[in-house]
Amino acid sequence: MDLNFKNRNVLITGVSEGIGRSMALAFAKSGARIAGCSRNQAGLDRITSEIQGDDHCFFPADLSNSESARSFNEKVLQAFGGLDVLINNVGSIHKLADFHALNDDDWEQSFQINLMSAVRMIRFWIPHLKQSRQARIINISSIAADRPTEVFPHYSAMKAGLSNLTLSLSQTLANDKILVNTVSPGPVWSRSWEQEAEQAAKKSGATLEDTIHQIKEGTGQTVLLKRMGLPEDVTGIVQFLASDHASWVTGTNFTVDGGLTRGS
């Protein structure tokens, strides 16, 4: 299958690590021009040195802040002049806690970074996506959106909102030929898992290395394929949805979880 994105402009939020970084490297390798943002300048510097090609732009931005998001988008528009693919990947659990340990600020922060960040990005780029013949919006949600657990209910609720937004926008933008889909990863090893391991190691007194091993092994046993996911496991379906091969796919959620939920 030919996934050639030459001359396509692709914007990926939360691009400095994890799934965002993996997507940026893969799209660039397939010929796309990449724009990306992160609150982590060191991460942006790292991906700038790693990525294939020279015609990319990365800027620090906090998409939970409307002014920072607007400034970032205007810089990208000035650099690219238009957009073909918008991937709303930025997100954060922020606080690993159950319902009783979350206050109003925790819920508000989760709302701003996990849902409103995508709303701001989509609102800005819709007029420019209308000018593209291959317009795509791909929202990175989570299996927690419809399979929540006791921990981080604020994150799960906002991801559910993002998945719901996808369905609404697929109808709103259908006449403009802008395809809108969701990808919902399962347990993919990321910075949030590292933070959980760090907290667990402090409580137990075990080494961080041993704790990470235990978490990976334990979580992997809940997955049909017996391992946690890697960021690269998610990249393929996102590239497919952005490609010409998915020109009749919209309003759909794609679960990538190693068989954990088995489509339930």
Active site residues: 155
User: Structure tokens of 73?
Assistant: 């988008």
Residue type, 5: F
What are the b/e assignments for 198-208, b being 16+ CB within 10 Å?
eebbeeeeeee
- Using CA atoms, how far apart are residues 138 and 173, in angstroms rounded to an integer? 13
Residues 6+ apart with CB under 8 A from 93: 110, 152, 155, 192
Q: At what angle do helices 117-129 and 66-80 cross, to 10 degrees?
A: 30
Q: Cα–Cα distance between 65 and 227 in angstroms, integer?
A: 36
Give 93's Cβ-side CA count (13 Å radius).
Answer: 19
**Amino acid symbol at 189:** W
Q: How many CA atoms lie within 13 A of 229 on its CB side?
A: 25
Cα-Cα-Cα-Cα dihedral sign, residues 181, 256, 69, 95: positive
Q: Six-digit token pair at 6?
A: 């030459």
User: Bridge-partner residues for 38, per DSSP?
Assistant: 60
Tally DSSP H helices, then E strands, for the chain. 9, 7
